[in-house]
Amino acid sequence: MKHFVFVLRLVFGALFIWSGIAKIKDPIGFADAVRNFEIIGDPFAVAVALFLPWFEVVSGIAVMWDRFAKSASFLITGMVAVFTILILSAWIRGLDISCGCFGGTGEMNYPVKIAQNVGLITMGALIWWKSTSPSATVLKKS
């Protein structure tokens, strides 16, 4: 199971690094995607569009690193849960949006995106559950 979780962490981290870099490459497009959710407006939408991709990249790197895997998986999983709620909100309100998840601007298929996010939440929760925190390791050695 330890090797499976290690590979899962690498895949999970790479996915969020890729997602963050795609958004960093097109900050204007991602800012438009944030605005399309009609939750926040400028200047906050721009601030989110500039901050969030870097958060994804750093968290993606951190989840691959054993020392930070538990905390990073918690943060990423929380972020995906919030995204899922926002996507559900947009769907309920009948908005025709693109999520901007990987820098794309295509139309969103709501049921597919929600299913993907549930899968990501499950992966993140498994990583969190199976990862050990450094302090717990130190306490066990004492």
Note the pLDDT tens digit of each residue in 45-89. 999 999 999 999 999 999 999 899 999 999 999 999 999 999 999
User: Interior CA angle at 96 toward 15 and 79, to 5°?
Assistant: 35
The pLDDT assigned to 129 comes to 94
Q: Are 105 and 29 in contact (CB under 8 A)?
A: yes
Residues in the chain: 142
Top-confidence residue, 3 or 102? 3
Note the pLDDT tens digit of each residue in 5-25. 999 999 999 999 999 999 999
Note the pLDDT tens digit of each residue in 92-117. 999 888 767 776 667 788 999 999 99
User: Interior CA angle at 104 toward 96 and 120, to 5°?
Assistant: 90
The pLDDT assigned to 121 comes to 98
| Burial classification of residue 5, based on how many CB atoms lie within 10 Å of its CB (0-12 exposed, 13-18 middle, 19 or more buried) | middle
